[in-house]
Structure 1
Amino acid sequence: MTGDTGQAAAASAVVRNTPARIGFWAAGAGVSLILAIVMTPMFWLMWGGFYTASMFLCGAVAIPAGHLGRRRGKRLGGHDRGAALFAIVTGWLLILCSLTLLVAYAGLMAGLGFLVGSAN
């Protein structure tokens, strides 16, 4: 009988910090999108809006999930707090990169429009 209660206690001792893990995976997906942009610049030129919007969404998911994970990790004795911090920092960097890409893309379009206008 005591073996059954020990197994039940061991099973309930497994703690999961789900928000931290969600934030970690969203941040990882955003970093992979940055790597995809660097490794395949032609695809970014064709599908730039998709890459930029996906990076922004990954950052927008990673930041609140990271904050929730940090708070929950504090209650769980520090479980996955590092992953949550990674999600927060990477999420902000993803949003910064996506806004930078948006400004660069708008500047490129404005510059091309100016060149076409001055050629006529």
Structure 2
Amino acid sequence: MASNAQQTAGPAVRSRNTPARVAAWAAALGAGLIVAIVAAPMFWLLYGGLYTAFMFLCGLVAIPAGHLGRRRGKRLGGQDRGKALLAIVTGWLLILFALVLVLAYVGLVAGLGVLSDSAS
């Protein structure tokens, strides 16, 4: 009788923590952009603004999705909570790295402006 009731209920639906997975993918994509900048600096010199903007956007996606994933993971019994926490930390690091890149670029342009002004 018990096996009959299990068969009629159908297969068990496994709940998925989608926000945690979205956060992890966004964090991984942003980290991949950092690796691309280090591996091929010529591409960053050509498309630096796009790389930096995508890195910042990946961080902006990873942080709220990671928080949603942590909250949903709490209701699902701890499923993917660590992945969501890693995505939150990585998202903040991506935003920090993007801001450092912008400040470095602004400093470089300002320094070149001062050098060219003092040369003439």
Q: TM-score, normalised by structure 1?
A: 0.93
How many Å separate the matches in 2 of 1:118 and 1:45? 26
Q: Deviations over 1:21-66 (max 9, x none)?
A: 0000000000000000000111111111111101000000000000
| Same amino acid, percent of matched pairs | 67
- Moved segments of 4+, more than 6 Å: none
Alignment-derived partner of residue 91 in structure 1: 91
1:1-120 to 2 correspondence within 5 Å? 1-2=4-5, 4-6=7-9, 8-10=10-12, 12=13, 14-120=14-120
Alpha-carbon distance in 2 for matches of 1:5, 1:100? 58
Structure 1 Cα separation of the partners of residues 64 and 80 of structure 2: 15
In structure 2, distance between residues paired with 1:45 and 1:96: 19
RMSD: 1.2
CA–CA separation in structure 2 for the residues paired with 1:37 and 1:81: 29
Q: What is the number of residues matched between the two proteins?
A: 117
Gaps of 5+ in 2: none
For 2:71 and 2:53, the matched residues in 1 are separated by 28
